[in-house]
Amino acid sequence: MNALTPLPTLAEALPPTSSAAPDGSFTRPRQVEFLHALAACGAVRRAAGHIGISYRTAYRERRANPAFRRAWDAALLSARALSEDVLATRALDGVEEDVMYHGEVVATRRRYDARLLLAHLARLDRLTEDARTRAFAEDYEGALERFAAGIDDPAPVCEQCGEALPVPVPAQAQAGGGGEAGDAGPDAANGPAEAAPCLSPSGLCDKCDSARARESGEGGQAAPSETAPDSAADIGPFEPCPHCGGPCDDPDAVLGPRDCMWLGNRLERMYAARPRHARKPHEIMPDIRDSGDIEWAQLLAFEDGVEEWWLVMPDWFEEGMGE
pLDDT tens-digit series, residues 176-188: 444 444 444 444 4
Is residue 289 within 8 Å of residue 314, measured between CB atoms? Answer: no
Range(s) of the domain holding residue 309: 274-314
pLDDT of residue 123: 62
Give the torsion sign (CA, 48, 51, 54, 57): negative
pLDDT of residue 97: 81
Give the 3-state secondary structure of residue 106: strand
Amino acid at 108: T
Q: CB 34: neighbour CB atoms within 10 A?
A: 25
Residue 291: inside a domain, yes or no? yes
Domain tally, the chain: 1
Residue 299: inside a domain, yes or no? yes
Residue 310: inside a domain, yes or no? yes
Greatest distance between any 2 Cα atoms in the chain: 93
Residue 285: inside a domain, yes or no? yes
Residue 302: inside a domain, yes or no? yes
Residue 204: inside a domain, yes or no? no
- Candidates 195, 214, 191; CA nearest to 204 is 214
Question: In whole angstroms, how far apart are CA 140 and each of 40, 71, 134, 197, 251?
Answer: 12, 9, 9, 21, 20
- Which residues partner with 107 through β-bridges? 99
pLDDT in tens, the chain (323 residues): 455 444 344 334 444 434 334 446 889 899 999 999 998 888 899 999 999 999 999 999 999 998 898 889 888 888 877 777 777 676 666 678 888 888 888 888 877 666 656 666 666 666 666 777 777 877 788 888 888 888 877 878 777 676 777 665 555 444 444 444 444 444 444 444 444 444 445 556 666 655 555 554 444 444 444 433 443 334 445 566 665 556 666 666 666 656 666 677 778 888 888 998 888 888 888 777 778 888 888 988 888 888 899 999 888 776 655 44
pLDDT of residue 199: 46
pLDDT of residue 107: 84
pLDDT of residue 186: 42
Residue 298: inside a domain, yes or no? yes
Phi, psi of 307 (to 5 degrees): -70, 140
H/E stretch holding 44: helix 44-51
d(CA 138, CA 15): 42
Amino acid at 23: D
Residue 294: inside a domain, yes or no? yes
d(CA 261, CA 258): 8
